[in-house]
Structures are given as C-alpha cells and as structure tokens.
A and B are shown apart, each in its own frame.
Chain A
Amino acid sequence: MAIVLEPSRNSPALPGGSGAVRPKPVSDPGVLRRPVESTKGIVSWLTTVDHTRIGVMYGALSLVWFVIGGIEALLIRLQLAQPNGDVIGADTYNQMFTMHGTTMVFLVVMPLSSAFFNYFLPLQIGARDVAFPRLNALSWWLFVFGGLFLYSSFFLGGAPNGGWFGYAPNTSITFSPGHNIDFWIFGLQILGIASTVSAVNFIATIINMRAPGMTLFRMPVFTWMTFVASFLLLFAMPIITVALFLLMFDRNFGANFFNPAQGGDPVLWQHLFWLFGHPEVYILILPAMGIVSEVLPTFSRKPLFGYPVVVFSGIAIGFMGWGVWAHHMFAVGLGPVATAAFGVSTMFIAVPTGVKIFNWTATLWGGAIRFTTAMYFSVGFITTFVIGGLSGVTHSVVSADTQQTDTYYIVAHFHYVLFGGALMGLFSGFYYWWPKIFGKMLNERLGKVHFWLMLLGMHLTFGPMHIVGLQGQPRRMYRYDKGMGFDFWNMIETVGSFIIATSLVVFFVNILITSRSKAVAPADPWDARTVEWMTDSPPKPWNFDVVPTVHTVDEFWHRKYAEDDDGSIRRVATAEQVLTHDPVDPASIHMPSPSWWPLIAAFWFPVTAYGVLYHAWPVAVLGGVGILAGFFGWSLEPSAAPHDDHHDDHGHGDDPNSSFGELVAGTAH
C-alpha cells in the first residue's frame, strides 16, 4: 500500500472511522464515560491526547498571544514615539511593558517551541506518541488556563505592573498593594507546572521512545536541542516556583522574606529570579537553534557541518547557562570577586555559541543553496543573532555593563537575540514544516515579503535602541523630555515596530490563503533529510504504519541517495518509494484513547489560584480537592480503552504504573 497515493488523508476509512480501529470497550473502568474516539468535532479537541493535535493547538494559541503581546508592544512604542508622550498613562505603561515581556516569554516563545517539540519530537525519533500522552494534554490545558488566568487580571482591577522580573520588594504588598502582582505570581505558577510536566514528559520520550537504531547521536539536532532545553526547564522551573512562593507568602500571609524592615534581602529575589531567568534565556533560544540546524542542511543539500560539535555545543550551553546568572546583577554590587567570575563565565559562554555560528556558516559553504522562505529566516536568524550575541558579550565587561544596565541598550540586546533570534528561528520552522503539519505549502512569495518586512522592521525598531541606550535613555520610563537627543531615534523605532506588525499581517494573510487553497503539498517538498518526513503529511494518529529502523544521521536522505564509486551522489529512490511499505492493519496499532481528565484536572488550578488570591478559602479548598479528585479519577482510568481482541504491550496500557507515575508527576510542586 503506497500511503502517499491515498486521495484524502482524512478519509473516514482510516483515522476518522476509528470504530474499526478501536472496538467498543468491554467494560468502562473509569469514573467518567470515555469520550468517543473521533478526529472531528469540539469534543475530540477537548479530549485529545494526540501529540500532533496538541502541537497544533499550542501553535495556534501562541500566535493569538503573539498578536496580543504585539499590540502591547505597539502601545509602548506609540507612547514613546514623541517626547512627553500622552497616549497611555504611567500606570498603563507599567502594565503594558510587564505584560508584553511576560506574554512574549511565557505565552509566545516557550509555547511556540513547545508546539514544535510536541509535533516533531516523536516524529523525529520514530515514535508513535510521547511517553505520557495524557500528561502532555495536561501541560497544554495548564498553559491555556494559566494564560487566561494571567489575562483575567485586566478585568479584575489591573494587570501585573512590576516588570517580567518582578523585583521584590517593589512587588511586595507595601509598594504594590493591588492584586496585580498576585495575578502574575499565580499565573506563572500554573504555567511553571505546565512546563515542568512537559519537561519530564519530553525527557522520558527522548530517553525511552526512540525507534530501533535511533541512537542518541543519530537524533536530529532539533531533538537534541529539545532534550537540552527540557533539562533546563526541569531544573530552572522549581527555582522560580520557590521564588514565587516566597513572594506569595510575603504578600498574602505576612512572611518577611523580602521585607527589609525585618532584615529581608532584596538581592535574594534577584538571585533566585536570575538563577531561573538565565537558563530560561537558553530555553528560549535552543529550540530555535535546533530548527535552524535542520533547515540549513536541507536547503544547502549538505549534512550539518560538525554534527557532534553542534550537539556538544548545545550541551555546553546547557551547562554553562547555570553559571552566568549574576551578569544580570552587576549593578547590585556583589563585590569584585563575584562580578569578575561572572564576567569571565559570560565571556566563556560565547564560545559554544560562536562554535555553532561557525558550523552553520560552514554548512552553507559550498552547498547547493536554495533560498526558500525557511532558508531566508534561518540565515536571518544567524545574522541578527550574531549582532545580538556580540552586544551580549559587551555585557560581560563589568565596567561597561554598569553603564548599560537599565538602559535601552539592554532592550536592544535581548530583542536581537529573542526577536531576531528565537522568533526568526521559529518562523523558519513554520515555513519549513507547514507542509508536514497541514499537507499544504505556505506561499513562498508572500513568505519572502513577510521576511523582508520583518527583518527591516526589526532592525529599525531595535537597532536605534543601541544608540539611545548608550546615550542614556532608561528602560521602563514612560516619558522622556525634549532635547535629550532621543526624539529622532524613538520615532524611527515606532515606525519600525509598525513595519513588524505589517509583516505579521502578511504572515496571517499567507496562512489564510494557504488554508483556502486546494493544492496539496508533495510528500517531500524540500528534499528533506530526517525521519519526520518518512510518513504521510499530516501523519496518521499513529505516525508511522511501520516504525522505521534507523541506520544513520539524516536517515531519510541516505535512503534516497547513495554515493557512487567515484564519490558522486546519485539518487537511488524517490520519497514515494521510501514511504512505500507492505500494507498494515491499523487495528494492530494500539494508541492511547482520548480522555477528559487532563482538562478536568487542569481546570481546578486557576480555581485554587483565585481562591488564594482573594483569600476565599472555601474556593481554594474546593480547587485543591478538585485537583486531587482530578488526578485520582485520572489514575483510575487506563490510558487506553480496553479491547477484547487486542493485546497491548505499549508500555502504558491498563497499568497502575502509568497511573501512578502520572499521578505523582502531575502533583509537581
């Protein structure tokens, strides 16, 4: 059966009519009735545990938050367009820059990376799903409810206004008496649980679910970077969890952690926050680096230059990322030894990053380069990331950094690495993998318009910030006076920010046009190299009819091409031929069944948070009981509905192992 030749991928004969795939349960062991298995209708989305659908939902919701965070950025830029701006007041401005930062970090870049993790991690290692599909759904619903909780603050007395770093004691009850900061604390706690759970899940998936022959050093680089980023999440999240708990106890229960009158130390907050915050920076950038490491070889028709070196550099960044946090705190006055040590470690971490840049450049060297939109974004990533990386190295010079602290120079730096870096890489992923996810190609011409507008807008917006920053324009101030020399460049920055907004309109128009188009993408539109392309686009719920056995890095490429005796590369098979295999009875492939429990368990987290926030203790207790009840109901329900005709040895069948593993992991912090 040649899968690629099938007329419609949603044909009811296969995944849609799963009645044939999954016979009626013999008995219903769970508390709730099992949702009917289907790929249509709202219930199927609410109860899905399929990693591809969860990935798509992550991507879609992240783009919504991206628009909202972008609008906040535009309001900031409008306020600052002219001296003594009067567009939004000081308090609104504080809320805008706080929510812009919080949104872009926690609700846009992290979940967008998560969207790609979810969709491509199992596909790239030849797995049928993640290790814990229901925990995966739990992470997704916690992300949904965490974001909604955070944004409900706008309607309940005002959004958080203490900056995304929430420095205590400025965020203590004395200086921030409203509920604004409480929303920030509890919103981040919920999102943090989501991240921890998915980190555990992805780590278990990568360690355990690899296809036969997929050794660690045959894994695609994107999977490697996911692996490193998951470990960073795993170890960084509990630190911010503790910091937020301490602040919560201060604000709500009269503790003294950040109360200077009782000897509380504001520097403790900074240490805890940045000990989380700096690994967080690498959590944001490593996935994008992984995507770029997939796109560049594909469109250069060359293997990634120095694959093991790129992987080890990623691992090195993961380790060294823990030893540089105090460069965010040079202005605190930590003493000469500490500042010198952190200055030097900050210089060192530029080395593995630089190694990667050289490897990417060497991948391009001598390649048969095709300049597709995905390639544009990847090359754009390299160039802007180099600029951002170089301004980052200037922070390691402590004496210079104390001049740069709290100026727009810092704002310029981290937007070059996070917007010009992380987001460019993620957009590269959108254009590269869109045909894989939806079976349709995004329009290349519009994509290139999107790219050039975004690149231009980005440099116009953030480039001048280097200049005004070094001239002394402070961050987080909602106004500046005439005649400071800031007027011209601030106007340019505002114009640039609207060019970025225009570029995104082009992107969304592209999505709209593509979704209306009837043209179906070929099975292997880019002549790709890795395992995720060795199945249908979009893949069936079980990903692979026959799980591939892997022999090398770039497995798909090596099945398509071989080397002649004279060393020249010769095509030996078309993609369609590689994808062809003997027919497989779908009923023999056993997948986890949909479940209501992740949604139910996640729902009670914001309820608990509202209860504590408003000191409405019955509500908080109700929420806590709801969470516990949710996990107990969950643990009583087997992850796959029982079948009278089928044998399950999938590793998480009717097995209290998984129930308890999930129960325990689910009650994280």
Chain B
Amino acid sequence: MTAATVDIDHAPAPSGHADDHSHHATATGLSNEKVAMWAFLGSECLLFGALIATYLVYKGRSINGPFPKDIYDIPFTSASSFILLMSSLTMVLAVSSIERNDHKRLRLWLTITALLGSSFIAGQIYEFTAFVREGLTLKTNLFGSSFFVLTGFHGVHVTLGILMLLSLVNLSRRGKITQAKAETVEIVGLYWHFVDVVWIVIFTVIYLIP
C-alpha cells in the first residue's frame, strides 16, 4: 500500500531549487530528530542517575520496616524484567521490518513490543499493590519513598513509550510510515532501548544487590 502513497515532500526536486535547500544534508549527516533524541536521552541519564543515587544514599537507612528483604519477590520481578528485555528484541525486529519495507511485520512487532511493555507495567502494578498490602507505602519509611518514586518514574517512562509505539502502529496503518521514514521507528526504538537499559541498572542495583 505504501508504494502507492504519494509523498509530495520527497518528490524529486524541481531544477533550480537546489541552492535554496542547503539544509537538506545536515552538517553531520544525522537527522535533527536523531541528534535531539540522543541529547534528550543524555538528559534522562542524569534524571535516573539522581533518582538511583537518592535510593542508594537511603539504602539501609530506614528506621522501621518493611525492609527490602521482607517484601521483594525476586523470581516475579526477574520474570517481568525478562519480558521487558525481550521487548527490546521485538523492537529491533520492528525496525528491521520497516527497513525491508515489510509493513505488516512492522505493525506486528510494534504491537508485540507494546504488549510486552504493557505486561511489564501490569507486573509493576501488581507488585505495587502487593507491597501496599504488605504495609509498604510511600509514607512508610525511606525505603518506601525512594523505591516507589524511582520505579514509578521508570514505569511512567515505559507507559509513554507504549503510547509512542501504539501511535506508530496507528500511523503505519494510515500509510504514513514509508520505508524512507524508517528512522521514525528507529528513534522511538532508541527511547525504548534506553528505558530497558535503565531497568537493567535499576533491577541490578535495587533488587539484586543485597
């Protein structure tokens, strides 16, 4: 279907206009959007860095329980972490699909990625409610405050990522994502992989290291 999509913006340039479009090739050859996404992810590193540092500063300094060892369910969180990591694989497959101009597979893999992300979020919601039932809230102690804020921020990032994935599916359905615009998928992928990598750090630092 996209072969038929008329892309007026990328039609061949009428002669004589070339001089006026000196920005077409950016100074680095990278698109503005990609540079912006990398810069934004750099900023995000400091956001999560500050949150993780806060968690580490307060590690073991809660006055009353429940403490991490009382309530962490490592097998459960390992499973949901595995699901999130697998979503990075399906994201890569989505990018590779559109680069091969395979729009059906693109939508398939994007949907699967969004589903895997949603399963992770569902797991997090389950985990949060289980913790609250066991007596750990934002107000309980330093552990509760720093745990919920750090993982909550990560959950919000995953949720935004899911929204972006679903928008991509929708755009693709309307024929707006041509092979030439595969980079759009790649840029959302950058964000998605970043969110996954951050989770690896969070999972290791706050769940696995005793």
| A residues with CB within 8 A of B | 127-128, 131-132, 196, 199-201, 203-205, 207-212, 214, 234-239, 241-243, 245-246, 249-250, 253-257, 262-265, 268, 272, 275, 546-547, 584, 588-590, 628, 632, 635, 642, 644, 647-658, 660-665, 667-669
Inter-chain CA distance A88–B188, complex, in Å, is: 54
B129 within 8 A of A: no
Inter-chain CA distance A494–B10, complex, in Å, is: 64
Residues of A within 8 A of B14 (CB): 647
Inter-chain CA distance A650–B31, complex, in Å, is: 11
Residues of B within 8 A of A654 (CB): 8-9
Residue pair A238, B23 in contact (C-beta under 8 Å): no
Main secondary structure of the interface of B (DSSP, over half): helix
Please give the distance in Å from B171's CB to the nearest CB on chain A.
6
Residues of A within 8 A of B23 (CB): 127-128, 209, 650-651
Chain B 107-148 interface 0/1 with A at a Cβ cutoff of 8 Å (1 = within): 000000000000000000000000000000011011011100
Q: What 6 new A-B contacts, CB under 8 Å, besides A128-B23, A660-B168?
A: A203-B35, A203-B36, A253-B138, A256-B144, A265-B61, A660-B187
Q: CB within 8 A of A588: which of B11, B17, B191? A: B17
Residue pair B26, A238 in contact (C-beta under 8 Å): no
Please give the distance in Å from B48's CB to the nearest CB on chain A.
8
Residues of A within 8 A of B37 (CB): 661, 664-665
Residue pair B28, A208 in contact (C-beta under 8 Å): yes
Given A547-B22, A588-B17, A246 contacting B35 (CB threshold 8 A): no
Q: CB within 8 A of A657: which of B12, B146, B184? A: B184
Inter-chain CA distance A459–B75, complex, in Å, is: 66
Residue pair B28, A262 in contact (C-beta under 8 Å): no
Residue pair A664, B142 in contact (C-beta under 8 Å): no
Inter-chain CA distance A214–B11, complex, in Å, is: 29
B93 within 8 A of A: no
Inter-chain CA distance A253–B168, complex, in Å, is: 35
Chain B 1-16 interface 0/1 with A at a Cβ cutoff of 8 Å (1 = within): 0000000111111101
- Which candidate, B51-59, B65-73, B83-91, B197-205, is the interface stretch facing chain A? B51-59
Residues of A within 8 A of B63 (CB): 262-263
Residues of A within 8 A of B32 (CB): 131-132, 204-205, 208-209, 651-652, 658, 661
Inter-chain CA distance A245–B22, complex, in Å, is: 43
A-B contact pairs, 5 of them (CB 8 A): A128-B23, A649-B9, A653-B9, A657-B187, A662-B33
Given A127-B23, A204-B35, A256 contacting B139 (CB threshold 8 A): yes
Interface residues of B in 20-53 (CB under 8 A from A): 20-24, 26-28, 30-37, 39-40, 42-44, 46-47, 50-51
Q: CB within 8 A of B149: which of A211, A249, A584, A648? A: A249
Given A209-B26, A660-B164, A235 contacting B149 (CB threshold 8 A): no
| B residues with CB within 8 A of A | 8-14, 16-17, 19-24, 26-28, 30-37, 39-40, 42-44, 46-47, 50-51, 54, 57-58, 61-63, 138-139, 141-142, 144-146, 149, 153, 160, 163-164, 167-168, 171, 176-177, 181, 183-184, 187-188, 191
5 A-B pairs with least C-beta separation: A661-B33, A238-B47, A242-B50, A208-B26, A255-B145
Residues of B within 8 A of A584 (CB): 20
Residue pair A204, B39 in contact (C-beta under 8 Å): yes
Residues of A within 8 A of B160 (CB): 667
Given A200-B40, A649-B9, A651-B26, A255 contacting B50 (CB threshold 8 A): no
Among B20, B34, B44, B167, residue most surrounded by chain A Cβ atoms (within 10 Å):
B20
Inter-chain CA distance A210–B12, complex, in Å, is: 24
Given A235-B46, A263-B58, A664 contacting B40 (CB threshold 8 A): yes
Whose C-beta in chain A lies nearest to the C-beta of B191? A664
Among A209, A212, A628, residue most surrounded by chain B Cβ atoms (within 10 Å):
A209
Residue pair A245, B17 in contact (C-beta under 8 Å): no
Inter-chain CA distance A235–B37, complex, in Å, is: 14
Residue pair B33, A658 in contact (C-beta under 8 Å): yes
Residue pair B26, A256 in contact (C-beta under 8 Å): no
Residue pair B43, A668 in contact (C-beta under 8 Å): yes
Residues of A within 8 A of B171 (CB): 656
Q: CB within 8 A of A650: which of B21, B47, B184? A: B21
Please give the distance in Å from A323's CB to the nearest CB on chain B.
15
Given A255-B149, A653-B9, A657-B33, A200 contacting B47 (CB threshold 8 A): no
Residue pair B24, A650 in contact (C-beta under 8 Å): yes
Residue pair B167, A632 in contact (C-beta under 8 Å): yes
Please give the distance in Å from B114's CB to the nearest CB on chain A.
15
Whose C-beta in chain A lies nearest to the C-beta of B17? A588
Given A263-B61, A647-B14, A635 contacting B167 (CB threshold 8 A): yes
Inter-chain CA distance A209–B35, complex, in Å, is: 11
Q: CB within 8 A of A265: which of B12, B28, B57, B138? A: B57
Residue pair B50, A243 in contact (C-beta under 8 Å): yes
Residue pair A207, B28 in contact (C-beta under 8 Å): yes
Inter-chain CA distance A228–B181, complex, in Å, is: 31
Given A650-B21, A656-B176, A664-B188, A199 contacting B43 (CB threshold 8 A): yes
Whose C-beta in chain A lies nearest to the C-beta of B177? A656
Inter-chain CA distance A268–B188, complex, in Å, is: 34
Please give the distance in Å from A581's CB to the nearest CB on chain B.
11
Residue pair A546, B19 in contact (C-beta under 8 Å): yes
Residue pair B177, A588 in contact (C-beta under 8 Å): no
Residues of B within 8 A of A660 (CB): 33, 164, 167-168, 184, 187-188
Residue pair B22, A201 in contact (C-beta under 8 Å): no
Given A242-B50, A651-B24, A208 contacting B30 (CB threshold 8 A): yes
Please give the distance in Å from A637's CB to the nearest CB on chain B.
13
Whose C-beta in chain A lies nearest to the C-beta of B22? A547
Inter-chain CA distance A669–B33, complex, in Å, is: 18
Residue pair A210, B27 in contact (C-beta under 8 Å): yes
Inter-chain CA distance A245–B145, complex, in Å, is: 12
Please give the distance in Å from A283's CB to the nearest CB on chain B.
14
Residue pair A647, B13 in contact (C-beta under 8 Å): yes
Inter-chain CA distance A257–B165, complex, in Å, is: 34
Residues of B within 8 A of A665 (CB): 36-37, 40
Residue pair A656, B54 in contact (C-beta under 8 Å): no
Among B12, B17, B27, residue most surrounded by chain A Cβ atoms (within 10 Å):
B27
Residue pair A200, B22 in contact (C-beta under 8 Å): no
Inter-chain CA distance A316–B30, complex, in Å, is: 26
Please give the distance in Å from A146's CB to the nearest CB on chain B.
18
Residue pair A656, B181 in contact (C-beta under 8 Å): yes
Residues of A within 8 A of B17 (CB): 588, 647
Among A256, A588, A665, A667, residue most surrounded by chain B Cβ atoms (within 10 Å):
A256
Inter-chain CA distance A669–B149, complex, in Å, is: 13
Inter-chain CA distance A531–B141, complex, in Å, is: 58
Residue pair A234, B42 in contact (C-beta under 8 Å): yes
Residue pair B145, A257 in contact (C-beta under 8 Å): yes
Please give the distance in Å from B50's CB to the nearest CB on chain A.
4
Inter-chain CA distance A62–B154, complex, in Å, is: 35
Residue pair A663, B21 in contact (C-beta under 8 Å): no
Residue pair A238, B44 in contact (C-beta under 8 Å): yes
Whose C-beta in chain B lies nearest to the C-beta of A196? B43
Inter-chain CA distance A652–B13, complex, in Å, is: 16
Whose C-beta in chain B lies nearest to the C-beta of A653? B9
Inter-chain CA distance A664–B22, complex, in Å, is: 27
Residue pair A656, B21 in contact (C-beta under 8 Å): no
Q: CB within 8 A of B62: which of A212, A214, A263? A: A263
Residue pair B164, A663 in contact (C-beta under 8 Å): yes
Please give the distance in Å from B22's CB to the nearest CB on chain A.
5
Residue pair A235, B26 in contact (C-beta under 8 Å): no
Inter-chain CA distance A208–B30, complex, in Å, is: 7
Residue pair B43, A235 in contact (C-beta under 8 Å): yes
Residues of B within 8 A of A211 (CB): 22
Residues of A within 8 A of B34 (CB): 661
Residue pair A254, B139 in contact (C-beta under 8 Å): yes
Residue pair B36, A204 in contact (C-beta under 8 Å): yes
Please give the distance in Å from B206's CB to the nearest CB on chain A.
16
